[in-house]
Structure 1
Amino acid sequence: MEAEAGATAEVRPRRRGLRALTVVLVLVLAIGAAGFGAWQWTLGRLDAAGPLASETAVIIPRGASSGTIAERLEQAGVVKDARLFMLGLALDQGPALRAGEFAFPAQASIRQAIGILRSGRTVQRRLTVPEGLTVAQIITVIEQAEGLTGPIETVPAEGTMLPETWAYSWGDTRASVIRRMAEGMERALAEAWAARDPSVPLANPREALILASIIEKETGVAEERGRVAGVFANRLRRGMPLQSDPTVVYAASGGAGELGRPISRADLDADHPMNTYRIRGLPPQPIASPGRASLMAAVRPAETDALYFVADGTGGHVFSRTLEEHNRAVARWRQIERERGLRQN
């Protein structure tokens, strides 16, 4: 009986120990399950749709800390909670976040937002420079472009920046855009010169650029560029003055490109190196930045026997072979100007 009582006493502590171990295991499993559930819940929040109703661009400045970036995203409505974004960064290790202007799509998740900021794919802005602007006018366009930075220390020579639509990113320098525009003009001019008509009365690419700038200012009608170039080519071959009004405007405006009033007799008679009513041949420099089409027109002019042209009142021009024909066309244009109140007599 004593032996049986001793055995029973030994079993009881053992059972109590097993029960305690079971409780501990249950607690561990419960805590583990809760932790796993919390982990899954957190990951779910990182992948959940965000609060943005529509695509939104956010600018991330250079040197911004992760906390600053998280706050900016919360302020912009990209993420609902900056703290959760920071947690997402901690859980989703990868390349550093980049600076710049980034576009976030509607309902972007936190994980998507992190991926966008790590990709470096910034918003591409567009800077459109119309054909025929002077260098002063182009510089104004560049200075007013949102997102460009830095001073313009060196202003390029007249006519040396290609007028096109240029892509840039927020934070790019103005100097870098000017450099790309100048390189673009160099390439476009080289391509045009390589494709030139061998009989064109131009000695080098510089002369082609000058003539192209005058063509650009003379007509806004694409179909006329070749004919205008043909008239100027004929005049150059004969040693006649080009008698181009835009060169007079350039001279009288001091290179501004706009006169703000009709050309006067005094303007036409002014002794100025850019005044093609007084000089023969090409002026010493371009009067604007020509586009690709005008560059090609300058080096491949249309075949024509016309020596004159004047506005026809519709945006185009009347082309004439003789001075007599031209004078009649000029008289019609003067009448149109009077009817429109553009000329007093």
Structure 2
Amino acid sequence: MWRSLASNMLTILVVVLFLLGGVILWGQSQYTSEGPLESAICLRVPSGSNMTKVSRNLQEQGAISSGPLFRIGVRYSEKTDQLKAGSYLVPAGASMDAIVEQITRGGASSCGTEIVYRVGVTRVLAEVRELDPATNRFVERAEFVPGVDEVPAVYEEKKADADTRYRIALAEGVTSWQVVDSLKAMDILDGDPGTRPAEGMLAPDSYEVSPGDNRAEILAEMQERQVLRINAAWENRSDRAAVTSPEEMLILASIIEKETGVAEERRQVASVFTNRLNRGMRLQTDPTVIYGVTKGEGVLGRGLRQSELRRATPWNTYVIEGLPPTPIANPGMASLEAAVDPDQGDYLFFVADGTGGHAFAVTLEEHNRNVAKWREIEAERNSN
């Protein structure tokens, strides 16, 4: 009898262990497999929250099938105490495992409200925008010029929200004075920017910032990125380059940056200046004349006068030989690369073609015809 009872108990234990193993395997499968969420959501995890609150929120929004199973998985993976506050874009079908990884890894929030300070060539613009999870596109809430326009109420409202993200978007071709002046107008930043960085030494890029960040430290990061780009471009220079040092490359790249906003044209423009330098011809480029007038401090806001084209300044390439002594703006990576890897060809001239690009020419006769066409386009536009 005892043997029979022991045998039955052992059988029951095996069955229980088998069922328990099956439950565990099912739970693991549920935890790691595709979730029930049909369309993306923005999950906000406020400061001081916990996994229980998060799991309830996720279950209410249909992102997970079981709050208790979610919490068990979190405990099993030993991430209960690793929850990070923020706003997270949870994609459709995200597994519990993937969601846990998102909200415990932290870093920059991936949805919610973003305030972007766009430092452009003509102005700085602050944008308040919010990501629509359904379309994964940002919806603009407000925009204004800091220090000039009235500050929108939504800007002040979102500044008070701890989950709001901030970014500085530095356009290619801005001057160092413009960057420093723009940072001064950004009221979320602290500290004196210090000495203005040398022209050309700030990398046009996107920079994640936070309220209270120091202006001088942000400028230091911009300089560090530009040094890396300068070194990389110079290391990969071609034997067609006319410049003989990283400093000359930076100067030429800044001129290329100011001459064209068409990415596909940069190496063509670079070839024109390279051919001119190799032949001992003056560069004769208007942006250098403008820099001689403004020193990069603001926008000229009008056409160049004949007296300015003739005036001798260190940057006036209608007057001086070769390159000017300093860059005239902060060039991006594409212009740095173009400066040391120009297109092959014999172009010596270019002029605007009315489409936003340029018409290139080998001979002065051909160039003069292109100039005449451009003047016709200008005259027609001015008459309308």
Question: TM class, shorter-chain normalised?
Answer: 0.5 to 0.7
Q: Which residue of 2 aligns with 1:280?
A: 321
Q: Which residue of 1 aligns with 2:206?
A: 165
Q: Which residue, 272, 290, 295 being the options, matches 1:254?
A: 295
Q: Which residue of 2 aligns with 1:307?
A: 348
Q: Which residue of 2 aligns with 1:214?
A: 255
Q: Which residue of 1 aligns with 2:365?
A: 324
Deviation at 1:155, TM superposition (A): 1.0
The answer to whether the aligner puts 1:189 opposite 2:172 as a matched pair is: no
Post-superposition Cα deviations, 1:151-205, rounded to whole Å, max 9, x if no partner, equal 1112101111000001122222111110010010100000000000123111100
Deviation at 1:143, TM superposition (A): 2.4
Greater radius of gyration (CA): 1
Structure 2 CA distance for aligned equivalents of residues 338 and 200 of structure 1: 38
Q: Which residue of 1 aligns with 2:119?
A: none
The structure with the largest helix share of the pair is 1
Q: Which residue of 1 aligns with 2:6?
A: none
> Does the C-alpha gap of structure 1 residues 104 and 281 become closer, same or farther in structure 2, counting only changes over 3 Å?
closer
The structure with the largest strand share of the pair is 2
Q: What's the secondary structure of 1:341's corresponding residue?
A: helix
Q: What's the secondary structure of 1:211's corresponding residue?
A: helix
Q: Which residue of 2 aligns with 1:150?
A: 191
Q: What's the secondary structure of 1:159's corresponding residue?
A: coil
Q: Which residue of 2 aligns with 1:103?
A: 86
Structure 1 CA distance for aligned equivalents of residues 298 and 363 of structure 2: 30
Identity %: 47
Aligned length: 247
Give structure 1 stretches of 5+ with no counterpart: 1-53, 61-68, 71-93, 107-117
Higher RCO (C-alpha 8 Å, min separation 6): 1
Give structure 2 stretches of 5+ with no counterpart: 1-41, 50-79, 90-103, 110-164
Q: Give 1:24-63 correspondences, 5 Å limit.
A: none
User: Pairwise CA RMSD of aligned residues?
Assistant: 3.0
Structure 2 CA distance for aligned equivalents of residues 295 and 105 of structure 1: 36
Letter in 1 for 2:263: A
Structure 2 CA distance for aligned equivalents of residues 174 and 167 of structure 1: 13
Q: Which residue, 159, 164, 170 being the options, matches 1:129?
A: 170
Letter in 1 for 2:259: E
Deviation at 1:138, TM superposition (A): 1.2
The answer as to whether partners of 1:133 and 1:257 remain within 8 angstroms in 2 is no
Deviation at 1:339, TM superposition (A): 1.6
The answer as to whether partners of 1:232 and 1:242 remain within 8 angstroms in 2 is yes
Q: What's the secondary structure of 1:241's corresponding residue?
A: coil
Structure 2 CA distance for aligned equivalents of residues 250 and 105 of structure 1: 44
The answer as to whether partners of 1:150 and 1:174 remain within 8 angstroms in 2 is yes
Q: Which residue, 273, 276, 280 being the options, matches 1:235?
A: 276
Q: What's the secondary structure of 2:219's corresponding residue?
A: helix
Letter in 1 for 2:273: F
> Does the C-alpha gap of structure 1 residues 216 and 57 become closer, same or farther in structure 2, counting only changes over 3 Å?
farther
Post-superposition Cα deviations, 1:231-283, rounded to whole Å, max 9, x if no partner, equal 00000000100001111111122322521111111111011110000011000
The TM-score, its normalising length taken from structure 1, stands at 0.65
